[in-house]
Structure 1
Amino acid sequence: MDRTEKQAFVQALQAVFAETSFVLVSQNKGLTVADATTLRRRMREAGATYKVAKNRLAALALDGTSFQGISPLLKGPTALSWSRDPVAVAKTAVDFAKVNDKFVILGGALGTQTLDADGVKALAALPSLETLRAQLLGLIQTPATRIAGILQAPGSQLARVFAAYAKKDEAEAEAA
């Protein structure tokens, strides 16, 4: 990379760090090209990005951002992953690390909070943003359906009472 490419790379990473809420740092010693391709594909499917970056350039891009706390993790062959949904990145990375021992999660940062590998695993255990939205929508809709049921109940009970009186009257009329 020449100097202008390095500057462009640092600026691109700074733009990413300004937009995202979570950055994961992983180490990939001995990861094959096929494994790296599989990981990239899984990250892309989860809406995340996986990028191998030179540590010095990544550290320059981290300066002045809320993710400065992960700079000490940038040693050896590291890669950065990020997404708008922090749980998606963490889940994908943790799942991949379970099946590939050459991929090691070093830590990450969720906003200004620096996480170690256990913190990332705990984040991966949370439900995804889409699941949380669906649960919240369900909680919001449940009271509305209960209110509608309660409002309809008296009307339907009255209808049943009227129907019972009508049947009673019909039975008395037939008997007479």
Structure 2
Amino acid sequence: MATSDKVAAVEEIAGKLRASNATVVTSYTGLSVAQLKELRRSLGEDAQYRVVKNTLTKIAAKEAGVLELDEHLKGSTAVAFVTGDPVTAAKGLRDFAKDNPALVIKGGVLDGKSMSADEIKKLADLESREVLLAKLAGAMKAKPSQAAAVFQALPSKFVRTAEALRVKRDEQGGAE
């Protein structure tokens, strides 16, 4: 590879690292071209899966300020650059790895924090961002309605108590 090609490759990888909110490093040894194509499709539109050269990727990671990747850049390496929901990409990788044991998740980075392969698998077990947001909205809607019911109960309870005291006073012989 000529020097200008290497410089361009480093700049491209560094740009992808800067633009990504998550990256997942994998080993792809033993996967066919057709399987890699299928894997790229399973990751969705918000992730790009690319076979990379370790040395160039280390240089690009240093330029992009993502030093956490260095420990995973050994052997045959491919990186998933995730610009959207990292849970969706993690699920795609996990599910593909179940069917194709040749794909090994080495680790990655999520929002600037290093993640082990086990942590990425735990990330894949989470529900999607949309489902979590819907659950949060439901919980936030339920709490105010419960609070409103409590606040409405206090005045009505006070009125019932005052009425019971008035009735009791009337039964005992009137006002004092």
106-115 vs 132-141, which moves further: 132-141
2:48 equivalent in structure 1 = 49
In the TM superposition, what whole-angstrom CA distance separates every residue of 1:86-141 from its partner, at most 9, and x where no partner exists?
21221111111111011111111123321221111111111222222222233334
Aligned mates of 1:66, 1:119 — CA distance in 2: 21
Give the length in aligned residue pairs. 152
Contact conserved, 1:23 with 1:67, CA < 8 A, in 2?
A: no
Whether the 8 Å contact between 1:29 and 1:103 is mirrored in structure 2 is yes
Alignment of 1:86-165 (within 5 A): 86-143=86-143
CA distance in 2, matches of 1:64, 1:88: 27
| Correspondence for 1:81 | 80
Q: Which runs of 4+ in 1 moved over 3 A?
A: 140-150
1:66, 1:111 within 8 Å by CA — same for their partners in 2? no
Secondary structure of the structure 2 residue equivalent to 1:118? helix
- The superposition leaves residues 9-53 of structure 1 with CA deviations (integer Å, 9 ceiling, x where unpaired) of 2112212221222110000111011111100111135x2111111
Identical columns (%): 36
Aligned mates of 1:119, 1:143 — CA distance in 2: 32
Amino acid aligned to 2:49: Y
- Residue segments in structure 1 that go unaligned for 5+ positions in a row: 151-176
- SS for the counterpart of 1:121 is helix
TM-score scaled by length of structure 1? 0.75
In 2, the alpha carbon distance for the partners of 1:117 and 1:43 equals 17
User: Matches of 1:27 and 1:112 in 2, distance apart?
Assistant: 21
